Amino acid sequence: MALTRRPAPPSDVSSADGSRPPGARVLAAGAKGAERVARATGVDRLLNDAAEEAIVRALENPAVIRAIERVLESDALASEVDSDEARQIVRRALESETAAAVWSEVLESEQVQMLIERIANAPEVRSAITAQGAGLIKDAGVRLTAISERLDDAMERIMRPRDADSEIDQAGLATRAIAAAIDLALMFAGYSILSGVFASLITDVFGKALSGVSVIVLTGIALIVGGAIFATFWALTGQTPGMRFLAIRLTYRGSHDLTFRRAVWRVLAVILSLLPLGLGYLAILRDPYRRAWADRLTGTEVCYDSVARAAASTRAGSAPAGDGRDRSGGA
């Protein structure tokens, strides 16, 4: 059986002396010419675009995506790339300009804006924000009450000797003064707004500003309205907003019930206590039961609201406001 010799594949187109065969030179010249023609006619650009489009379509194919996911999840790739390298790759990708542009487009889209509006208008979100705001106010009230109690004790130690354990349920001078300042600030803000609106209306209607007599009359009306507001709060709830903020309330013979008539009488008694340069309230510092002239004249007391204080202190995750001693005596 005769054996046929199989031709060996050419290892190089060059000859032994380093020169190329004539056929190779012809093919190289033809390739260069075709490349110049392609650049001149734009065929190479069309081919590149077509190849790029084909690659993009291939990557968008669900089958290709699943294959890539399988490769990423394979143990072989996990063993080659450690967690630090993967984390750095992801971080660089997220910090790139392309990722920032994508996020900007997503956040500016109508769908995301509608989603944000729906979340903001949700009743659950509004109730949570309201509860959080109320909780912050209560926490601030607890801490402010603790400060005012320490001021009460310090002022009384200066004015009269007292035992360290002689704690009572009545609010001291500093606590009452802070509560009154809050109430007066709220009333002044409301009065400023209403007086500005009223003055503008008078100027527009009559064509002239308010006279001095009108200002005095309006001030008197404001004082009467302010006293009526205090009396109404005391009669309805036993607390003004400032008293509620500091968790103190007005009582009559140990009861929270107070008639409107007695509340009005207390307003007048408060004015009488303030007229002699506040001497009627400075009497709190000398009285063992922290009573002002207004308290003695009306039979009322300003006591700590133990229920509200305990609830606020529990929510704040701390001990009851003050120095931690029991304030259950001497009502």
Selected residue with higher pLDDT from 31 and 125:
125
Single-letter amino acid code for the residue at 65:
I
Does residue 27 belong to any structural domain of this protein?
A: no
Per-residue pLDDT tens over the stretch 97-106: 777 777 787 7
Whether residues 169 and 263 share a domain: the answer is yes
Total of domains in the chain: 2
Residue 21 predicted with pLDDT over 60: no
Give the model's confidence band at 252: pLDDT under 50 very low, under 70 low, under 90 confident, else very high.
Answer: very high
Query: How many angstroms separate the CA atoms of 96 and 209, rounded?
Result: 64
Whether residues 103 and 129 share a domain: the answer is no
Single-letter amino acid code for the residue at 89:
I
Q: What is the pLDDT of residue 324?
A: 44
Whether residues 183 and 286 share a domain: the answer is yes
Residue 247 predicted with pLDDT over 60: yes
Structural domain including 49 reads 36-112
Q: Which of 199-203, 217-221, 282-286 has the lowest mean pLDDT?
A: 199-203
Whether residues 199 and 83 share a domain: the answer is no
113 half-sphere exposure, CB direction, 13 A CA radius = 5
Whether residues 84 and 199 share a domain: the answer is no
Per-residue pLDDT tens over the stretch 209-222: 667 787 788 888 88
Boundary (domain end) residue, out of 62, 90, 112: 112
CA distances from 254 to 63, 64, 170, 173, 261 (A): 81, 81, 11, 20, 18
Which of 86-100, 158-172, 211-225, 275-289 is the most confident on average? 275-289
Whether residues 69 and 175 share a domain: the answer is no
10 half-sphere exposure, CB direction, 13 A CA radius = 8
Selected residue with higher pLDDT from 280 and 46:
280
Q: Which of 30-34, 93-97, 155-159 has the lowest mean pLDDT?
A: 30-34
Boundary (domain end) residue, out of 112, 142, 161: 112
Does residue 59 belong to any structural domain of this protein?
A: yes
Give the model's confidence band at 58: pLDDT under 50 very low, under 70 low, under 90 confident, else very high.
Answer: low
Query: How many angstroms separate the CA atoms of 294 and 280, rounded?
Result: 7
* % of the chain with per-residue pLDDT over 70: 64
User: What string of DSSP letters covers 263-317?
Assistant: HHHHHHHHHHHHTTTTHHHHGGGT-TT---HHHHHHTEEEEE-HHHHHHHHHHHT
- Over residues 49-61, the mean pLDDT reads 64
